[in-house]
Structure 1
Amino acid sequence: MKYVTISTSIIYINKDMINQRIDNFILKKFKNVPKSMIYRIIRTGKIKINQKKIKPDYKLKNGDVLKIPPIKILCNTKKQFFPLNNAKILMNSILYEDNDLLIINKPSGIAVHGGSGCNFGVIEYFRKLRPLNTFLELVHRIDRETSGILMLAKKRISLVSLHKQLRENKIKKEYTALVHGLWPRHIKKISEPLLKIQFKYNQKKVFIHKNGKPSETYFYIKKQFSTSTLLSIFPKTGRTHQIRVHALHAGHPIFFDQRYGQSHLDANIKNNIHIARLLLHSYKINFIHPKNGNKICITAPLDVSFKNYLNNMI
């Protein structure tokens, strides 16, 4: 392992940086620095704002002057490979863009951010492809295996506005999924608390548990086939893996879900086109534009593999 030392940094906080906690700001800026080190240098007063010690929950203000002491960073000596094919796919997946927002139809199999064995996720791709965008952050996340709508903010003020809408349940999302079996018509809502458990090697799995966070998902039947059901799904809350776990709880796991599905059901499927992706897609999103206040509705068409699989079942 090789380390490099970053010299003292002076950062002048502008309007695109405000209202975020100092600890989160530093963690994003120095991703190769252990969290424990970041919190230690904040706690000991080595990080200063306007020449004063601050606490980790301090929120940045316009005009603040942030001073960061020299920090030793782990340097990856292996040259990172930038997959141009994925970059081209993502550039062709843009559904909507203006000065405040970038919304894409994320393909299944591409993570929203790097980590857990992959160097590049959606956010890293677009930061590299759009070097003139001084600010670019994920508004929300969807699973790596899930396809569909993903929103990125191009301004801090837009990110804050959309996060407020998420907290107040003003952003409405609709998903499409194919599940095993005939979904019972009387099951239109599942409200089961979800608990996320972290395992070794940074892997996580979500379980229904009384000590979990409140979660609510609405299910509507779009079409029923002989042994499966196409659903429209409306999550009221946005917990990790919420739709997948609630579908499993109902006894109707989503097709080809390697984490929460049932492999013996997937194995019995006559799969003429050899699809193996999770058949869950973020189809539609409704929100208020953070700048002009207009109501926006964006839809993302199903990809070719998902669409072909459905056509194959008719």
Structure 2
Amino acid sequence: MKTQTSATNRDADSTPRVQLVDVPEDRAGQRLDNFLSGRLKGVPKSLIYRICRTGEVRVNGGRVKPDYRLNAGDKVRVPPVRVAERGPAEAPSDNQVGRVEASIIHEDREFLVIDKPAGVASHGGSGVSFGAIELMRAARPRDTLELAHRLDRDTSGVLVLTRKRSALTALQAAIREGRVEKRYMALIEGNLPKARLMVDAPLRKSVLQGGERMVRVDPEGKESRSHFSEVERYAGASLVEVALETGRTHQIRVHAQHLGHPLAGDEKYGDRAFNKAMREHGLKRLFLHAARFEFEIGERSYSFSAPLPPELAAVIDTLQQRRTSTPR
């Protein structure tokens, strides 16, 4: 990797300096924030996002967002970053590591797949010390693990990690090109007007004054498509399967709200009265579960699935006891 610095005598002076880093071929397609995390060891993600937002990080001389996908040969300006002197980094507890390690549903030479529990973030940052990736790295310190995609903290289900750089770039290319099938199970308010329907509504992210991230349907947003299919209907609610063509932040939650059928347990985009009714059926979390993740790389096909976790299956059991009609 070619690295240039803004001053000489680096070995004689440990003061951090600006670096201009050429992106090697094996990092093509990697997100800028992840690239920076690899170079700025120990620097929290919140600081990485800040130096991107303020323009201290630049790619080919211009400002880019943290989710920018790098190209081979891009020149990344990495600013000097100081991290306050601290004692040894806090390690996750054995219980935290054990919980995520127990969720492994598949592993081979290229992939490690977990059934991520709800409440566990995909990665650390924004007040979260350890996400699934950090916990799995603690469990498998000899592996070179990377997140291939993300799930919201409150969403459970299939989360794919890679063990080789070649696997990561191949899967990320498949995701960008729409060659990955992702299906979720969700409980929504009411019943869909049709057994199957597609929502084609562009989504736009915004940050409120207090720092809360919100997503809304907006003609100026990014194209977003979700396919809803009714699985079973109950009194005042329906279990649906949602297939995604795109993978925008909070896509299923906002598209369900846009339909007028918000997700059960959704404190951000949901309906308060519906959420209260579902709590009476035992629901204590967002009812959204990543049930299946399928893709092909070369001549090999992969299909990973995870059943509804017990706490969601129990809610369905109580609703079935009061079901008023059968599935279509």
Aligned residues: 293
In structure 1, the partner of 2:291 is 283
Instruction: Summarize the Cα distance change of 1:6–1:227 in structure 2 as closer, same or farther, 3 Å threshold.
Output: farther
Q: Which amino acid aligns with 1:140?
A: H
Q: Distance in 2 between matches of 1:21 and 1:278?
A: 28
Distance 2:23 2:254 in 1: 41
Structure 1 pair 271–42 and aligned structure 2 pair: CA distance change class (3 A): closer
Q: 1:165 to 1:270 in 2, by over 3 A?
A: closer
Matching residue within 250, 267, 281 for 2:259: 250
Q: In structure 1, what is the equivalent of residue 171 of structure 2? A: 162
CA distance in 2, matches of 1:128, 1:270: 35
**Correspondence for 1:72:** 82
Q: Does the CA contact (< 8 Å) of 2:29 and 2:173 recur in 1? A: no
Which residue in 1 is equivalent to 2:130?
A: 120
Q: 1:96 to 1:6 in 2, by over 3 A?
A: farther
CA distances 1:9-66 after superposition (whole Å, capped 9, x unpaired) = 9x999886566477852344323455269964878xxxxxxxxxx75797457xxxx9
Scaled by the length of structure 1, the TM-score of the pair is 0.81
Q: 1:299 to 1:94 in 2, by over 3 A?
A: same
Of 154, 162, 171, which aligns to 2:180? 171
Q: What amino acid does structure 2 have at the position aligned with 1:298?
A: F
1:3-82 equivalences under 5 Å are 17=27, 20=30, 25-30=35-40, 31-32=43-44, 35=51, 40=56, 59-60=71-72, 71-75=81-85, 80=90, 82=92
Aligned twin of 1:307: 313
How far apart, in 2, do the equivalents of 1:250 and 1:68 lie?
A: 43
* Residue identity matched to 1:277: R
Task: Name the structure 1 match of 2:114.
Answer: 104
Give the alignment's Cα RMSD to 1 decimal: 3.3
Change (3 A) 1:244 1:41: closer
Match of residue 188, structure 1, among 189, 197, 215? 197
Query: Do the aligned residues in 1 keep the contact of 2:205 with 2:213 (CA within 8 Å)?
Result: yes
Give the distance between the partners of 1:300 and 1:85, measured in 2 at CA.
22
| Residue pair 1:287, 1:296 contacting (<8 A) in 2 also | yes
TM-aligned CA distance change 1:15 to 1:90, over 3 Å: farther
Among the aligned pairs, what percent are the same residue? 31
Q: For residues 149-173 of structure 1, give each alpha carbon's deviation from its aligned partner in whole angstroms, at most 9, with x where no partner exists.
A: 1111111111111111111111001
- Hey, what's the Cα distance between the residues in 1 that align with 2:83 and 2:178? 39
CA displacement, residues 273-312 of structure 1 (integer Å, 9 cap, x when unaligned): x3311111010111114xx631111111111101111112
Provide the secondary structure at the position in 2 that maps to 1:102.
Answer: strand
Q: Does the 8 A contact of 1:20 with 1:60 survive in 2?
A: no
- CA distance in 2: counterparts of 1:14 and 1:213, whole angstroms: 29
1:220 equivalenced with 2:195 (yes/no): no
Map of 2:105 onto structure 1: 95
- Distance change (3 Å), C-alpha of 1:184 and 1:225: same
Residue identity opposite 1:74 in structure 2: A
How far 1:132 moved relative to its partner? 0.8
**1:298 maps to what in 2?**
304
Taking a change above 3 Å as real, the CA distance of residues 269 and 99 of structure 1, as seen in their structure-2 partners, is closer
* Alignment partner, residue 267 of structure 1: 276
Change (3 A) 1:116 1:76: farther
CA gap of 1:149–1:269, structure 2 versus 1, over 3 A, is closer
- Residues 155 and 312 of structure 1: is their aligned pair in 2 closer, same or farther, counting only changes over 3 Å? same
